[in-house]
């Protein structure tokens, strides 16, 4: 395809559009409202951009599937494997299951000022999880693993709230996690999974 005629054609179309736009009478008040709406759009796009680049608020970057009906039979999300875990590289991985109407395990302790990778799955229907004042806000779609990395800047009790309507008990579906000072936190000692004992 020849690019020069295409560019010329686009130029003509653009000029036509501008000419038509200029021919339309726009009232001064209308002009002001157009400018205000453009500024609102620019402001919202700006907020999204700043959140994405500086606050780490992003859509999930990968798709990972899992069979929700057999989580307890699988290795990663079996009951003994849930909660806080430190992997071989020293990264903290937290595996959580959302189900009507709670997050499991019911309670965990995590360190402050440390990157934490949460891996969420649902055992039944669509849930969501939101931790106010952090970038933790995601849908937990049955059949998929939702992975989010976050850091809690200060020790304290943080609420975990379900933010997707999941049934009659939805508004009681919340839990909390204890964030403790980095120096006071100790990695949990995992007991060997069933079947691994000698
Ligand atoms: Cu779970 Cu709403």
CA nearest 124: which of 152, 143, 149, 145? Answer: 143
pLDDT, mean of residues 163-177: 92
pLDDT value at 87 more than 50: yes
Q: Is 112 in the pocket of ligand 1 (CB under 6 A)?
A: no
Cβ(95)–Cβ(76) below 8 Å: yes
* pLDDT band with cut points at 50, 70 and 90 for residue 197: very low
Question: Would you state the pLDDT for residue 190?
Answer: 66
Q: Are strands 127-130 and 137-140 parallel, antiparallel or unpaired?
A: antiparallel
Residues 87 and 129 in one domain: yes
Helix (H, G, I), strand (E, B) or coil at 108: coil
Residues 74 and 113 in one domain: yes
190 Cα–ligand 1 center, Å: 29
Task: Give me 168's structure tokens.
Answer: 């009659």
Residues 22 and 76 in one domain: no
Task: Give me 8's structure tokens.
Answer: 């010329």
Residues 45 and 112 in one domain: no
Question: Would you state the pLDDT for residue 191?
Answer: 59
pLDDT value at 7 more than 90: no
Domain that holds residue 160: 68-184
Q: Is 162 in the pocket of ligand 1 (CB under 6 A)?
A: yes
Q: Whose CA is closest to atom 1 on ligand 1?
A: 127
Percent of the chain topping pLDDT 90? 45
């Amino acid at each position: 395809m020849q690019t020069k005629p295409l560019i010329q054609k686009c130029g003509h179309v653009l000029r036509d559009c501008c000419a038509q736009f200029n021919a339309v009478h726009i009232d001064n008040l209308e002009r002001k409202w157009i400018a205000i709406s453009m500024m609102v759009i620019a402001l919202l796009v700006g907020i999204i951009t700043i959140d994405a680049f500086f606050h780490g608020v992003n859509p999930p970057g990968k798709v990972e599937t899992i069979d929700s009906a057999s989580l307890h039979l699988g290795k990663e999300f079996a009951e003994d494997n849930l909660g806080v875990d430190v992997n071989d590289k020293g990264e903290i991985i937290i595996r959580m299951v959302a189900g009507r109407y709670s997050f499991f395990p019911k309670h965990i302790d995590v360190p402050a000022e440390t990157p934490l990778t949460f891996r969420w799955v649902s055992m039944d229907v669509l849930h969501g999880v939101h931790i106010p004042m952090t970038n933790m806000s995601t849908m937990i779609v049955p059949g998929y693993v939702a992975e989010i990395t976050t850091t809690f800047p200060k020790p304290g009790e943080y609420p975990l709230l379900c933010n997707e309507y999941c049934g009659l008990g939805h508004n009681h579906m919340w839990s909390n996690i204890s964030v403790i000072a980095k120096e006071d936190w100790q990695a949990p000692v995992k007991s060997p999974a069933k079947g691994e004992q000698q």
